[in-house]
Structure 1
């Protein structure tokens, strides 16, 4: 039973069995009923040597279709990651750290998380930010739970132009809570404020506002937030963090909970994770915010120090009293976001947002000029939807053969949008790359 990655020898095992008075490992399994025990070896192929395994994986990878240019967005975005982020985040004292429960030996990580919280608080315009959550969708679901507990209403309003992934996660989190989730209709791709005002009359716990929304359109949250607050419901904003370098922070406009996916802040796409849930709230929710909070204090020498504070997770108090039973913090991902924000600063963030905005609008104008009609005429940031003469899947398949992923086919997410393609262009694209997509689309229009 020797194995290159398991240090125990047969002699070691025999010694341990002798110590506990058991003849064999088989004797330790007698409590498992015989009728459910496997009577044959596992159906696994023969083990490989390390070179054999390496060659096997190389051959598997070669079967992938290489994508040279990807204009896919819809919640996960291709942004440039400065080299310094990997250099610092890969230091062993960071990437081996978990929750810093012992502050006397964890001041470095605690300070890093404290700085991260400070960045998110400033970016979102709210005084309280936690030490992060799993990802943006789970952060939004936690925000809904916070609002429901605070207002003690079972009614939540969610716009029809929200990302389907966000809606799915909210429904998964709340499916056993007897909540009523009502859909806010949209007009020209944006939330219909008149319809929303009518829906708010009976009262609600919360209203979710995603901006930019699923179609990349920028909502008028300066108008929507006061409308929601007037009804005593809690406005929850789900944002793209980079937009806040050029748009007013939702907290400054009256939002009480702001959440986001932190992947654009220095995290690679990485086949879907790990990502980072950003959350900031007003002081009203300081006892309800899930996850961990790092606070600043002084040690017995009077020096500045950092500790975990207001710990209301299930690991620290009675489970039924916990604010959340399934939340954690993504310490390493939060560290990467903190490095990203500190390296770029306000001006750097604004430059990246402006370049993404310019790229997307250049692409939009050029596609429009060659015959593709916009699905909506409302303002957008770096993502937009166009109407296609044929099903969007046709264009995606045609361009994929050229190494270009043209965008997201909206049909699987919105059955009434079979001929609609959602396209994203971030700051990473050169004009030559954008022109390459334009020329390929011109060829098959």
Structure 2
């Protein structure tokens, strides 16, 4: 939005209408001793060309994945975005659309949300998805609250192979809800169904896993679903990398009751960390406990199709005691981006992108594991991320790689002290064979 200042004549007119003589009179209630007595300590104003040049210099101090070969993932992924996605999703009529409070005049936005919901159901093999959440972490927190409400139980079991920041947000969400969150260890890089069974009890509301998990490993989803369901608990599956669903089984196919996740990988840029897109989907039986908004399709009195806000389960719209959440909005623009991306690629396209990720990551995994001093930390199958034990501190490796325009993986000691020598490497379809070989070459000289 451009800033157009008021003219002196317009300011005088506004002062007359408000009944004051000068702008300073508007601040009469503020004590003089706390008012600013002089101009702000700022440099003089720049001309337009000077300001643009200054902004470019500041921006040039940043770097991004267009300038570096990126091998960093851990919940935010450098995927190729087809040009059709920003062309369609960033049209002004979508950019300016806000909360669809008046459904009859916001049919376009509601239809876009409906299409997004339908695609999320197809992607996750679930019955119903909402209009989106803030991000994957908060969606997982909402799922835990939803599961406790459905089962009337106070305990949540969460695998330590779930993204550490998701687990931090989960504890924040539940800290005042009289819920207990307990970690399930994953020493082999995946959640052990036998250990989950030993921890399971009749007061557990949900078992939360991630697959592919934070270490990139694929979990035994079907076995963990049986463990949860045998004791009346729900299985919540978080997905930080939804592109994986083009290749691996969808959570709904192996018994998930609630699916949450981060939709950034679906056509949304890295954006220096946000805004991102939270996903949540569930079974038909649980739809009335689903947080946020749900758009539905119906017909009017003349039989024409129309879109409405079918459910809004927050306290602003219904009695506070019956609300399932206080989430007050959704990420409509990011959800639209995801819908356009999925529609552009189609089923075969998503599968192809997933295969490229898996093949390139497998190639890099094998080459790095063959280097002297490097070894794979876990034996479980992976998608596009894997953990490597390194002969040098991973932080030092990253510093050295950055000198060669390579953005290295995530040092895991930040979240897992016992994995201080471990490095989480990600390889998406955007990485070329030459870039992978360059990475391996530099690692070989460092080792």
State the TM-score, normalizing by the size of structure 1.
0.95
Q: Where does residue 25 of structure 1 map in the other structure?
A: 23
CA distance in 2, matches of 1:418, 1:108: 50
Change (3 A) 1:312 1:64: closer
Q: Where does residue 150 of structure 1 map in the other structure?
A: 150
Aligned pairs (5 A) from 1:38-437: 38-64=36-62, 67-239=67-239, 240-371=241-372, 372-437=374-439
State the shift of 1:91 in Å. 1.7
- The alignment partner of 1:225 has SS state of helix
Residues 122-147 of structure 1 deviation map (CA, whole Å, 9 limit, x = unaligned):
11111111111111111111111111
Root-mean-square deviation (CA, aligned residues, Å) is: 1.7
- The alignment partner of 2:387 has SS state of strand
Segments of 5+ residues of structure 2 without an aligned counterpart are none
State the shift of 1:255 in Å. 1.1
Residues 248-268 of structure 1 deviation map (CA, whole Å, 9 limit, x = unaligned):
221122211001110111111
Larger CA deviation: 319-328 vs 11-20: 319-328
State the shift of 1:346 in Å. 1.3
Change (3 A) 1:433 1:321: same
CA distance in 2, matches of 1:64, 1:87: 25
CA distance in 1, matches of 2:313, 2:148: 17
Larger CA deviation: 172-181 vs 270-279: 172-181
- The alignment partner of 1:139 has SS state of helix
- The alignment partner of 1:244 has SS state of helix
- The alignment partner of 1:295 has SS state of strand
Residues 389-430 of structure 1 deviation map (CA, whole Å, 9 limit, x = unaligned):
111111111111000012111111112222111100011112
Change (3 A) 1:28 1:65: closer
State the shift of 1:320 in Å. 4.7
- The alignment partner of 1:243 has SS state of helix
Segments of 5+ residues of structure 1 without an aligned counterpart are none
State the shift of 1:63 in Å. 3.2
Residues 229-250 of structure 1 deviation map (CA, whole Å, 9 limit, x = unaligned):
1111111100232222222221
CA distance in 2, matches of 1:98, 1:149: 30
Residues 289-308 of structure 1 deviation map (CA, whole Å, 9 limit, x = unaligned):
11111101101211111111
Larger CA deviation: 231-240 vs 318-327: 318-327
State the shift of 1:40 in Å. 4.2
State the shift of 1:323 in Å. 2.1
Paired residues in the alignment total 442
Change (3 A) 1:230 1:42: farther
State the shift of 1:33 in Å. 4.2
Contact 2:139–2:260 (Cα < 8 Å) also in 1 = yes
Change (3 A) 1:321 1:374: same
- The alignment partner of 1:187 has SS state of coil
CA distance in 2, matches of 1:384, 1:336: 28
- The alignment partner of 1:205 has SS state of strand
State the shift of 1:94 in Å. 1.5
CA distance in 2, matches of 1:364, 1:92: 43
Change (3 A) 1:14 1:65: closer
Contact 2:174–2:180 (Cα < 8 Å) also in 1 = no
